[in-house]
């Protein structure tokens, strides 16, 4: 059975990268990314969440680093 919720930092980042391509194309992509970034911040620290925002150019799509 495939895993629905990513667990490792690498899996979370891969899911963020995957969803980023669908921003403004598919519904809920913004919400999914926000939840994933929140999970990254909670489990791995805000620095890692900020790194994902920068690495995947999410700042150009409206997200900001804290």
Question: Could you write out the DSSP letters of every residue in 14-65?
Answer: HHHHHHHTTTTTSTTHHHHHHHHHHHHHHHH-HHHHHHHHHHTTGGGGT---
- Candidates 56, 51, 1; CA nearest to 23 is 56
The answer to the question of residue 2 being in a domain is no
The answer to the question of residue 41 being in a domain is yes
pLDDT at 65: 87
More confidently predicted of 46 and 3: 46
Q: What is the pLDDT of residues 4-53, one digit of tens each?
A: 666 899 999 999 999 999 998 998 999 999 999 999 999 999 999 999 99
The answer to the question of residue 3 being in a domain is no
Query: Domain residues for 50?
Result: 9-61
pLDDT at 1: 45
Q: How many domains is the chain built from?
A: 1
The answer to the question of residue 20 being in a domain is yes
Q: What is the pTM of this model?
A: 0.87
């Amino acid at each position: 059975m495939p895993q629905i919720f990513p667990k490792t930092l690498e899996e979370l980042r891969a899911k963020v990268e995957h969803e980023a391509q669908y921003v403004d194309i598919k519904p809920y992509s913004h919400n999914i990314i926000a939840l994933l970034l929140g999970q990254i911040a909670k489990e791995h620290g805000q620095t890692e969440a900020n790194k994902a925002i920068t690495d995947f150019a999410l700042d150009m799509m409206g997200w900001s680093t804290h």
